[in-house]
Structure 1
Amino acid sequence: MIKQKEEQERFEKEIAETQIEIREETLRNISWELHDNIGQLLTLAKIQLQSATQENIAEVRDTITKGLTEVRALSKLINPEALDNINLKEAIQLEVDRFNRLGFIQSKLIVTGLEQEINQKATVIIFRILQEFFSNTIKHARATELIVQLNYTANGLHIVTKDNGVGFIANAKKEGIGLLNIKARAKLIGAEAMLTSEENKGTNLEIKYNYE
């Protein structure tokens, strides 16, 4: 009984720490976008306004519209309720949209099967695992394509995400993807995680999770 209680406490602690990590990663992304993307759009709009004529006023309007679109996208990411009550498919779609919008990498989310409700703790763990994979792909893999596949079945969720980068074998930042961390986190929710890679042929992450 005592051991079971200790294991439950460790599990709850890991969930809480993972939620904090998701928040920190999200805030880092927002900070970058505000500085490098929205900041550049507003600066460009200011320059355009200084020399605006009737002919190029449409360009100014277009630049401001892009800035507003970026702000709306960020507002979804920073919403506390969205961070505390993550819907896995929606959270992944937001990440994919962000990567495409900012030109980081050509990304795609493919969903098959009927979406099933996944408990919040499992969702948090799975999303953080994927977030780590995405971060490694963008920072280190030198990939041009990222594909995420969610396959909902009657018994569980099968996730496959892959990039076409250099592979972690050739990657000097191999430790950045946290191989042991990914497996340990998956084990917390009774899931299996398998990471495979081949030099210059990309990296694949596969997660198998059975519904409770």
Structure 2
Amino acid sequence: MAIAIPVTLVIIVIVLFSVFSRRKNRLLREQAETKKAYDRELAESQIEIREETLRNISWELHDNIGQLMTLAKIQAQMSLEKPEMMPEVCETIGSGIDELRALSKLINPEALKSLSLKEAVSLEIERFNRLKFIAAKLKVVGTIAPIEGNTQIILFRILQEFFSNTIKHSKAASLNVVLDYSEKHLTISAIDDGVGFSKDDDFMGIGLKNMKTRAKLINSTLRIESTKGEGTSLHLKYNMV
């Protein structure tokens, strides 16, 4: 009996140590896998933002600024016979210059990296309104708090994905975005008044899945609500502490 008790204690210690080691190793593996998933999603988000930006630049150069310059050329040719048209020529050229200045903010990758979430979203909202895609508004509530750069990239990509679906599919007339900062949370809402969708529709499938996956990786909760004929809304809560 005297020997059995120490042996039993040794066995218990060995078993507990083994269980602890397995749990520790599993936790380390899970942390490593989470880190890999985060890095992968971050890289994909950066690539997608870059690709979306290049598509926007291409579209604006071809269909917006290109049209303005063509109009300015036509007006300039007409002004040779009608000098009174010169103010119109100057106005059109001025509009083209303003568009180029706005576009330059998107072209510089270093400038994009240094933008805050509010500034990046503001650029998107300004572009929608400038190109008359949709009547968009941004409202900021509370005191803006700093957010880690990589997290901002993922938050912006989630919103950009929602914006893209709104512009392409919703047929909405308006889009309202709110960034609500509190001491512990950033609550983001984006609401359009478009055609909405039902659970049976699949055009939001992959995008919605990506948004939810990315929100989870940055300690956020994401909810997308939509009703046929009544628009779609995004609600995201990011835990800042």
TM-score class, shorter: over 0.9
Establish whether residue 188 from structure 1 lines up as the match of residue 217 from structure 2.
yes
Q: 2:35 aligns to what SS in structure 1?
A: helix
1:14-25, aligned counterparts within 5 Å?
14-25=41-52
1:31 maps to 58
2: CA distance between counterparts of 1:30 and 1:173?
28
Establish whether residue 56 from structure 1 lines up as the match of residue 85 from structure 2.
yes
1:119-198, aligned counterparts within 5 Å?
119-169=148-198, 174-175=203-204, 178-198=207-227
2: CA distance between counterparts of 1:35 and 1:133?
25
What is the CA deviation profile of residues 134-164 of structure 1, one whole-angstrom value per residue up to 9, with x for unaligned ones? Answer: 1111111000000000111011100110000
Task: Report the Cα offset of residue 88 of structure 1.
Answer: 0.4
Q: 2:191 aligns to what SS in structure 1?
A: strand
What is the CA deviation profile of residues 69-92 of structure 1, one whole-angstrom value per residue up to 9, with x for unaligned ones? Answer: 110011001111123333100011
Preserved CA contact (<8 Å) 2:197 2:226: yes
Structure 2 CA distance for partners of 1:139 and 1:170, relative to 1, 3 Å: farther
Q: What's the TM-score, normalizing by structure 1? A: 0.95
2: CA distance between counterparts of 1:148 and 1:173?
24
Preserved CA contact (<8 Å) 2:215 2:221: yes
2:237 maps to 208
Which residue identity lines up with residue 169 of structure 2 in the other structure? H
Where does the alignment leave 5 or more consecutive residues of structure 2 unmatched? 1-27
Q: 1:103 aligns to what SS in structure 2?
A: coil
Q: What's the TM-score, normalizing by structure 2? A: 0.84
1:102 maps to 131
1: CA distance between counterparts of 2:135 and 2:106?
20
Among all aligned residue pairs of Structure 1 and Structure 2, give the percentage whose two residues are the same amino acid: 55
Preserved CA contact (<8 Å) 1:41 1:64: yes
Task: Report the Cα offset of residue 182 of structure 1.
Answer: 1.1
Query: Runs of at least 4 residues of structure 1 off by over 3 A?
Result: 170-173
What is the CA deviation profile of residues 88-112 of structure 1, one whole-angstrom value per residue up to 9, with x for unaligned ones? Answer: 0001111001000001000000111
Structure 2 CA distance for partners of 1:176 and 1:63, relative to 1, 3 Å: farther
RMSD: 1.6
Which residue identity lines up with residue 189 of structure 1 in the other structure? I
2: CA distance between counterparts of 1:18 and 1:145?
26
Task: Report the Cα offset of residue 206 of structure 1.
Answer: 0.4
Computing the radius of gyration from Cα coordinates, the structure with the larger value is 2
Task: Report the Cα offset of residue 171 of structure 1.
Answer: 8.9
1:41 maps to 68
Between Structure 1 and Structure 2, the one with more helix by share is 2
Task: Report the Cα offset of residue 202 of structure 1.
Answer: 0.4
Q: 2:84 aligns to what SS in structure 1?
A: coil
Task: Report the Cα offset of residue 8 of structure 1.
Answer: 1.2
Length, aligned pairs only: 212
Which residue identity lines up with residue 6 of structure 1 in the other structure? E
1:77-96, aligned counterparts within 5 Å?
77-96=106-125
1: CA distance between counterparts of 2:33 and 2:44?
16
